[in-house]
């Protein structure tokens, strides 16, 4: 088992339906979900207040709210496929993932849930990897697996596939960008079947969701977030693996990179990571040595949430704050200063805009109007 996870009581059946309805409703992401539940005390109350909040944020079109029937149907179809929807703190929710700021309120988990409670190392890399890269990824995954680590990766062609295959015996985890029934790439259906026999697959997306380009970076945060560290084996410049490495660094995870010849384009990304401070590794023992001290420490809980809805903005405050926003991203801190309003009021207006589908949150505390 990984070090202790934050204790959370299990959801009741009714709560699970409410949580699923809320996270599946328009304009509700993991962060908005938490703000709403913290403020209203339950997903049920939040669902009741959703239309009113979105209207105040200036929703131009009807905000679709997931019905109880839809949620029950998704739950039933998931159970049929062997997918359990688990919340942070429940069995099968990777403990390190549970403490992320944008931890999904519900994860669809298929396979052996106890594997997901063990310490994980992510291995990612090029889809069109070289024979040497594939071989190295396999031996790295095998050695880490033999040492007791669960290998997490993205089920892609190339490095991902090699890492999964080499660690199937010890248990490996595939993070999916689409729904559990929309395997990508399609030819990896058999690999996925083998993976869930001894390990698990995870998705935050509903069944039937065909992965779009933008779902892959979103999924990548789960790969790095679940792991103690991420090892990148062969990556060209500007590749998806580097996004995973960047997310890992932002999440405070260890970043390991496998070096390669300057003449090999597939090593340009990993060499670049090392130049930026990632740890050069050539064998599994170096990863184990680096993560062992982290495993010994308790998992750090996220900061307690500030309640963004604690204060009710009046009409003139709302107008002033919206007037300060535009398509150019601005820092939340600058916005608060310039709005001459309390941080709680500003956050409430932003949440209303978000629910109305009018706000985009960028990295680094930047927001803009859509």
Pairing of strands 229-233, 254-257: parallel
163 contributes a contact to a copy of itself by CB under 8 A: no
- Candidates 141-149, 214-222, 273-281, 289-297: pick the segment binding a copy of itself (CB under 8 A): 273-281
Q: Which residues contact 131 (CB under 8 A, 6 or more apart)?
A: none
Q: Which residues contact 193 (CB under 8 A, 6 or more apart)?
A: none
Distance of alpha carbon 242 from alpha carbon 232, whole angstroms: 8
255 contributes a contact to a copy of itself by CB under 8 A: no
* Shortest CB 284 distance to a copy of itself, Å: 11
Nearest residue to 15 (alpha-carbon basis) of 94, 86, 109, 93: 86
268 contributes a contact to a copy of itself by CB under 8 A: yes
Sheet holding 330-331, edge to edge: 330-331, 366-369, 359-361
What are the Cα distances from residue 56, in Å, to 269, 299, 356? 46, 39, 8
283 contributes a contact to a copy of itself by CB under 8 A: yes
* Shortest CB 279 distance to a copy of itself, Å: 8
237 contributes a contact to a copy of itself by CB under 8 A: no
136 contributes a contact to a copy of itself by CB under 8 A: yes
* Shortest CB 250 distance to a copy of itself, Å: 23
* Shortest CB 159 distance to a copy of itself, Å: 13
235 contributes a contact to a copy of itself by CB under 8 A: no
* Shortest CB 264 distance to a copy of itself, Å: 8
258 contributes a contact to a copy of itself by CB under 8 A: yes
271 contributes a contact to a copy of itself by CB under 8 A: yes
* Residue whose tokens read 């990863």: 287
| Nearer to a copy of itself (CB atom), residue 50 or residue 274 | 274
CB 112 within 8 A of CB 31: no
φ/ψ of 94, rounded to 5, equals: -55, 125
Considering only residues 85-124, where is the footprint of a copy of itself by CB under 8 A? none
Q: Exactly one of 30, 89, 217, 259 binds a copy of itself (CB under 8 A); which one?
A: 259
Degrees to nearest 5, angle at CA 172 with 100 and 241:
60
Q: Exactly one of 282, 301, 307, 334 binds a copy of itself (CB under 8 A); which one?
A: 282
| Nearer to a copy of itself (CB atom), residue 3 or residue 261 | 261
132 contributes a contact to a copy of itself by CB under 8 A: yes
* Shortest CB 265 distance to a copy of itself, Å: 11
277 contributes a contact to a copy of itself by CB under 8 A: no
* Shortest CB 174 distance to a copy of itself, Å: 25
Nearest residue to 233 (alpha-carbon basis) of 144, 122, 149: 122
275 contributes a contact to a copy of itself by CB under 8 A: yes
Counting residues that bind a copy of itself (by CB under 8 A) gives 21
* Shortest CB 180 distance to a copy of itself, Å: 35
274 contributes a contact to a copy of itself by CB under 8 A: yes
* Shortest CB 228 distance to a copy of itself, Å: 20
* Shortest CB 308 distance to a copy of itself, Å: 44
Provide the b/e sequence for 221-245 (b: ≥16 CB within 10 Å).
Answer: bbbbbbbbbbbbbbbbeebbbbbbb
The H-assigned helical ranges of 251-314 are 268-275, 284-295
What are the Cα distances from residue 164, in Å, to 46, 59, 247? 40, 44, 21
Helix (H, G, I), strand (E, B) or coil at 277: coil
22 contributes a contact to a copy of itself by CB under 8 A: no
262 contributes a contact to a copy of itself by CB under 8 A: yes
Provide the b/e sequence for 47-66 (b: ≥16 CB within 10 Å).
Answer: beebeebbebbebeeebebb
289 contributes a contact to a copy of itself by CB under 8 A: no
238 contributes a contact to a copy of itself by CB under 8 A: no
> Could you tell me the sign of the dihedral formed by the alpha carbons of 147, 240, 78, 66, in that order?
positive
> Residues in the site for a copy of itself, rule: CB under 8 A?
132-133, 135-136, 258-264, 267-268, 271, 274-275, 280-283, 286
């Amino acid at each position: 088992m990984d070090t202790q996870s934050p204790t959370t009581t299990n959801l009741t059946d009714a709560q699970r339906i409410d949580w699923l309805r809320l996270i599946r409703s328009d304009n509700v992401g993991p962060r908005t979900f938490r703000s709403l539940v913290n403020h209203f005390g339950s997903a049920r109350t939040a669902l009741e207040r959703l239309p009113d909040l979105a209207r105040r944020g200036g929703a131009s079109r009807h905000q679709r709210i997931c019905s109880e029937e839809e949620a029950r149907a998704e739950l039933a179809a998931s159970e049929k496929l062997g997918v359990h929807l688990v919340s942070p703190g429940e069995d099968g929710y990777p403990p390190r993932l549970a403490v992320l700021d944008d931890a999904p309120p519900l994860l669809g988990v298929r396979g052996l849930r106890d594997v997901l409670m063990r310490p994980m190392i992510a291995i990612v890399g090029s889809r069109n990897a070289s024979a040497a890269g594939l071989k190295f990824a396999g031996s790295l995954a095998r050695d880490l697996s033999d040492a007791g680590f669960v290998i997490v990766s993205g089920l892609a062609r190339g490095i991902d596939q090699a890492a999964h295959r080499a660690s199937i015996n010890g248990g490996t985890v595939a993070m999916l960008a689409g729904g559990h029934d929309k395997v990508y790439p399609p030819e990896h259906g058999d690999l996925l079947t083998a993976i869930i026999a001894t390990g698990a697959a995870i998705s935050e997306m509903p069944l039937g969701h065909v992965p779009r380009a933008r779902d892959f970076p979103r999924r990548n945060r789960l790969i790095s977030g679940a792991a103690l560290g991420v090892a990148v084996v062969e990556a060209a410049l500007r590749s998806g693996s580097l996004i995973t490495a960047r997310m890992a660094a932002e999440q405070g995870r260890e970043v390991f990179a496998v070096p390669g010849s300057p003449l090999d384009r597939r090593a340009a990304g990993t060499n670049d990571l090392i130049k930026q401070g990632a740890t050069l590794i050539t064998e599994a023992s170096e990863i184990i040595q680096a993560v062992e001290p982290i495993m010994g420490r308790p998992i750090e809980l996220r900061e307690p949430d500030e309640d963004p809805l604690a204060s009710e903005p009046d009409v003139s405050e709302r107008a002033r704050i919206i007037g300060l926003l535009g398509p150019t991203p601005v820092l939340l801190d600058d916005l608060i200063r310039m709005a001459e309003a309390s941080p709680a009021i500003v956050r409430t207006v932003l949440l209303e805009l978000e629910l109305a589908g009018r706000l985009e949150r960028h990295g680094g505390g930047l927001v803009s109007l859509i």
